[in-house]
Amino acid sequence: MKHIARKRFGQHFLSDPAIIDAIVRAIDPRPGDAMVEIGPGLAALTQPLVERLGALTVIELDRDLAARLRAHPQLRVIESDVLKVDFAQVQPAQPATKLRVVGNLPYNISTPILFHLLPFAGLVQDQHFMLQKEVIDRMVATPSTSDYSRLSVMLQWRYAMENVLFVPPEAFDPPPKVDSAVVRMLPRDHFEALDVDAFSQLVQTAFSQRRKLLRHSLGKWLDARGFAGHFDVQRRAEEVPVGEYISLAQALQGGA
């Protein structure tokens, strides 16, 4: 029976063989890799991946699709909302092996998924996700551009990222109303250890009034915390490089 895409799950199924092949080549799966696929859907990406890997763990919320996937002998199926999955418990066959995470992420919850994965970055070798192109534009944006945002700062702190492939709407069934792309995310080996929640609050405050100077938002937030250090709040949030946000978070974390 044909599966009907469910709007509440944000389902758009990849159907273009050339695009699927290009994505698999970008991911470059190798036998024995500990790979986890988020939202395998109708297995368009799953099948070519598992053929190269030998075994694959998939996370699927739709119970009908999960039931279909369980019939595949090479798949380990986790039927769950990905936002509830503890990736520290998604153990590879070799515990010392890092996870490779891939997926065509539901566009309606793509940003929450990216933030959910952030604390697990130390367990991950790489991440390849298909997302709405405008989201990836924000992920990889540089300071003093309109796309530079909270998402840019939070993710660039922990990952090196690149947009590796453009995916047009007609590559899906049903076609979404937006362009898509594939992003490669490599957790940084060297990064500043920060409290993720505290850093997120700082950056969110900074970008809460992005058209105004930071003294109206982050400046007041810093004053309320008795911050005695120096940070130039006569700028807009989008003018501050990632490194300066990190340094500010470190200063606050150290009680400066």
pLDDT digits (tens, 9 = 90+) for 218-237: 999 999 999 999 999 999 99
163 is in an annotated binding site: no
Task: Please tell me whether 104 is known to bind a ligand.
Answer: yes
> Percent of the chain, pLDDT > 90?
84
pLDDT at 165 over 50: yes
- For the 196-253 domain, the top CATH level (class) is mainly alpha
* CATH homologous superfamily, domain 7-187: Vaccinia Virus protein VP39 (3.40.50.150)
Q: From 190, 128, 189, select the one nearest 163 (Cα to Cα).
A: 128
pLDDT for the residue numbered 208? 97
Is a pLDDT exceeding 60 seen at residue 1? no
Which residue ranges make up each domain of the chain?
7-187, 196-253
Query: Using one digit for the tens of pLDDT, what is the confidence trace for 58-79?
Result: 999 999 999 999 999 999 999 9
Other Cβ atoms within 10 Å of 120 Cβ, number:
17
Q: Is 12 annotated as a binding residue?
A: yes
Q: Assess whether pLDDT exceeds 80 at residue 200.
A: yes
Nearest Cα to Cα of residue 189 among 118, 122, 97, 115: 122
Query: Annotated binding residue at 162?
Result: no
Is 238 annotated as belonging to a binding site?
no
- 60 a known binding residue? yes
pLDDT tens digits, one per residue of 91-110: 665 667 899 999 998 888 99
Model pTM? 0.90
Q: Which pLDDT score is estimated for 31?
A: 94
Residue 16 pLDDT level (bands cut at 50, 70, 90): very high
Distance of CA 256 to CAs 201, 216, 226, Å? Answer: 17, 21, 9
